């Protein structure tokens, strides 16, 4: 079996998913159904000209609608039983016919009936009371109101300026008017054209019935297919869309059964271009994981000696140190399938889903062995079990149990190596850290000076550096920076150079980027009064003098002092170590307290008062003094004893039931007294230093007001000689763009009204 596994070639990841043929088929079926449904509409393909109901009404009342031949040229209204839509078809004269006119009269005894009948057809009446009717010898008598209604329905009553006239005397009278006689001669299809009127039976049905009366044939069209589609198609579409939605969410065929499948993503070895050449600053970590690469390349070399490769490698280190990048480099060097997943991808609200995903992930990895599984932020699923208020989290604990069994249980996972990363190893379950599961812990620490320079060179490949740039000073001046922060420094330098319209990145750009990442960007737009500005200058000058007058300046040299606001601070005194420092000495910590108190003491020496700007300094000084007493054992009264078992972040699930205070009330009082003594003594030291150098303090503050920024060398010259051999240039604010009105990504609206201007004749000519 071992030889067979050795001969296996790395599996290539599955091809990218093709088009969703199921969804495309669904859309095609829906389109076909709709096409068939509309094909049953009798109006489709009709040669009739479509007009509105209002246009038809006007033509009908003008007598342009053929009404005398219902057999050859009928007026029809077709209604649909599946909807309220109706269609009116009729025939119009292509050329207005020549009508012969005649007079009519109708005696009546009920004028209201005649008036309502005329109003129904839009006929305007003229009433003449107590007037004798004209001669009616040439008029044709209308026999009844029904005949009058027929004339109105056919649109044959002529409505002139005066319209039909009613001669009324009491309840009796006569209506006299003119009408169009039916045109003589036989009509052909060339004389007429067919028109179609679409209207709503619900809202316009009464209007059509009043207009046409009996000159229309009504019919009902039964569209069974349309009825079925209207009732069934929406429900079918909803069910089909839900089906495809659940199918897409579950990852393919199988529906909801895919919910418990692993979410690990397979990284294509051919596309993973990251190798150990792209990882710098962590040489020891690369050496430890190189054995994994060698085993994946040539497992027989280790098995001949009876050795087995670690089943799991846990990479531990602060955020941004390159743990994930190192895992990708392992996969790139070994050229094997690489599964990557986050610890939070296992945990769901349903109990048992995470455990099922773990089992599915390992089953899939065995099919592609040898391979790597990388679990990022494993502390999301691997925390201590059974701790916390109210018990543990059932889903997370079951997921962790499944992970423990898969890594080292009854079934062997040959050639499946698990790599995990975390920055909180203290919260992980002990069963996860034992040999046989995570056999090896690789510590990925912050890089040293040489490592930082290597990291800067790796990231500098992506930008255009000037040949004169030296990355060594930048590396030495970025103590404590992680790989991610160093990458940010290079990127910020490129952005600064681009804003300055430079062709390459200069050394000054890198210096500015380093200060921006460490202390924040300059806030020159912040409005500060002269009083606050002078107070800030006194404060920062006090820090600088206390640093130069103590031995701390040998390990933390003064780099720069500025009163330009950076980040949340109104001024900054910058100290940069020339080399990495891994140990803290008692004298240096005491000097550090002196330096932190220098700003407050300077305000008291000069003004006899102090502001609240030293709250951060007080916090730092108190924190250092507390560590000296409780952690480092630097108190003569308390001796080399640790007081307080936990001074770091509290892990609630583990530490809530433990007492972090393991000393008596008397000892607590002594601790407070020692902290107060250390801070007070060094506060008095700072007061003594600044009182002796008050004149130099005022001089440095005045120079800060004048130049805003002084280097460490210039401050030292002022303190020692009172003069500067190389004064700095006055830093001016950034230049205003040449086109202030040019459009930008973020424009401020002008709320002020435009100024009133008067236009002269000369301006008009210009």
d(CA 67, CA 182): 9
Which among 288, 406, 540, 603 is annotated as catalytic? 540
Does 540 qualify as catalytic in the annotation? yes
d(CA 257, CA 726): 76
Q: What tokens does 586 get?
A: 């008692």
Cβ burial, residue 285 (10 Å; 0-12/13-18/19+): buried
d(CA 32, CA 144): 57
- Is 499 in a helix, a strand, or coil? helix
- Of 618, 614, 576, 568, the closest CA to residue 593 belongs to 618
Indicate the pairing of strand 85-93 with strand 76-80. Answer: antiparallel
For residues 429 and 382, the answer to whether their CB atoms sit within 8 Å is yes
d(CA 77, CA 94): 21
286: how many CB neighbours lie within 10 A of its CB? 20
- Is 423 in a helix, a strand, or coil? coil
472: how many CB neighbours lie within 10 A of its CB? 12
Helices and strands (H, E) in the chain, number of each type:
26, 19
For residues 88 and 205, the answer to whether their CB atoms sit within 8 Å is no
- Of 428, 496, 489, 422, the closest CA to residue 456 belongs to 489
- Of 356, 46, 31, 68, the closest CA to residue 184 belongs to 68
3-state secondary structure 133-185: CCCCCCEEECCCHHHHHHHHHCCCECCCCCCCEEEEECCEEEEEEEEECCCCC
CA dihedral 232, 235, 241, 246 (to 10 degrees): -130
3-state secondary structure 329-353: HHHHHHCCCEEEEEHHHCCCCCCCH
Phi, psi of 106 (to 5 degrees): -145, 110
Q: What tokens does 94 get?
A: 């292509």
- H helices present in 608-756, as ranges: 615-630, 652-655, 665-692, 694-707, 712-720
Residues with active-site annotation: 540
């Amino acid at each position: 079996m071992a030889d067979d596994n050795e001969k296996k070639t790395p599996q290539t990841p599955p091809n990218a998913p093709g088009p969703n043929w199921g969804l495309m088929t669904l859309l095609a079926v829906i389109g076909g159904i709709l096409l068939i449904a509309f094909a049953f509409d009798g109006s489709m393909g009709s040669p009739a000209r479509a007009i509105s109901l209002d246009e038809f009404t006007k033509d009908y009342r003008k007598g342009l609608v053929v009404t005398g031949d219902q057999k050859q040229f009928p007026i029809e209204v077709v209604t649909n039983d599946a909807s309220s839509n109706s269609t009116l078809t009729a025939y119009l004269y292509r050329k207005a016919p020549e009508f012969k006119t005649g007079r009519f009269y109708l005696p009546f005894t009920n004028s209201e009936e005649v008036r309502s009948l005329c109003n129904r057809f839009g006929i305007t009446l003229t009433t003449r009371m107590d007037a004798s009717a004209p001669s009616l010898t040439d008029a044709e008598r209308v026999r009844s109101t029904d005949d009058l209604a027929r004339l109105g329905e056919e649109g044959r009553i002529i409505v002139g300026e005066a319209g039909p006239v009613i001669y009324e005397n009491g309840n009796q009278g006569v209506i006299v008017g003119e009408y169009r006689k039916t045109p003589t001669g036989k009509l052909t299809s060339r004389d007429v054209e067919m028109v179609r009127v679409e209207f709503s039976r619900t809202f316009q049905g009464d209007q059509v019935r009043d207009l046409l009366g009996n000159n229309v044939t009504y019919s009902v069209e039964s569209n069974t297919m349309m009825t079925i589609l209207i009732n069934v198609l929406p429900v079918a579409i909803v069910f089909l869309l839900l089906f495809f939605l659940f199918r897409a969410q579950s990852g393919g065929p199988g529906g909801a059964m895919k919910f418990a499948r692993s979410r690990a993503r397979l990284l294509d070895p051919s596309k993973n271009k990251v190798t150990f050449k792209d990882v710098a600053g962590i040489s020891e970590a690369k050496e430890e994981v190189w054995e994994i690469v060698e085993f994946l390349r040539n497992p027989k070399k280790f098995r001949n000696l009876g050795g087995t490769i670690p089943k799991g490698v846990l990479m531990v280190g602060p955020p941004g140190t390159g743990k994930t990048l190192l895992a990708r480099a392992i996969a790139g060097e070994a050229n094997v399938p690489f599964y990557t997943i986050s610890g939070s991808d296992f945990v769901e609200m349903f109990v048992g889903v995470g455990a099922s995903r773990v089992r599915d992930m390992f089953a899939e990895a065995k099919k592609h062995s040898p391979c790597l599984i990388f679990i990022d932020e494993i502390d999301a699923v691997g925390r201590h079990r059974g701790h916390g208020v109210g018990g543990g989290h059932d889903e997370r604990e079951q997921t962790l149990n499944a992970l423990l069994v898969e890594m080292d249980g009854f079934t062997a996972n040959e050639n499946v190596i698990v790599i995990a990363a975390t920055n909180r190893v203290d919260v992980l379950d002990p069963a996860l850290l034992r040999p046989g599961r995570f056999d090896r812990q690789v510590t990925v620490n912050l890089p040293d000076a040489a490592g930082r320079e290597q990291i800067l060179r790796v990231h500098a490949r992506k930008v255009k550096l000037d040949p004169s740039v030296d990355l060594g000073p930048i590396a030495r001046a970025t103590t404590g920076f992680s790989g991610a922060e160093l990458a940010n420094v290079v990127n910020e330098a490129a952005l600064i150079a681009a804003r300055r319209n430079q062709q390459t990145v200069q050394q000054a750009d890198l210096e500015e980027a380093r200060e921006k990442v460490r202390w924040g960007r300059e806030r020159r737009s912040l409005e500060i009064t002269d009083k606050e500005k002078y107070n800030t200058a006194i404060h920062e000058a006090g820090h600088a003098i206390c640093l130069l007058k103590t031995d701390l300046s040998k390990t933390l040299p003064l780099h720069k002092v500025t009163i330009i606001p950076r980040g949340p601070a109104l001024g900054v005194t910058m100290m940069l170590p020339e080399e990495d420092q891994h140990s803290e000495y008692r004298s240096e910590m005491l000097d550090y307290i002196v330096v932190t108190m220098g700003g407050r003491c300077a305000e008291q020496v000069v003004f006899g008062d102090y502001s609240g700007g030293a709250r951060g300094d007080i916090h730092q000084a108190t924190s250092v003094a507390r560590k000296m007493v409780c952690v480092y054992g630097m108190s003569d009264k308390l001796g080399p004893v640790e007081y307080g078992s936990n001074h770091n972040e509290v892990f609630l699930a583990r530490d809530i039931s433990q007492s972090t205070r393991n000393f008596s009330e008397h000892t607590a009082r002594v601790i407070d007294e020692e902290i107060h003594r250390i801070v007070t003594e060094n506060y008095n030291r700072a007061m003594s230093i600044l009182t002796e150098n008050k004149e130099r303090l005022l001089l440095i503050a005045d120079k800060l007001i004048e130049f805003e920024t002084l280097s460490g060398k210039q401050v030292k010259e002022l303190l020692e000689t009172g003069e500067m051999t190389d004064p700095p240039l006055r830093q001016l604010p950034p230049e205003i763009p040449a086109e202030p009105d040019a459009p930008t990504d973020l424009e401020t609206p002008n709320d002020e009204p435009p100024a009133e201007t008067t236009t002269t004749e000369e301006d008009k000519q210009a």
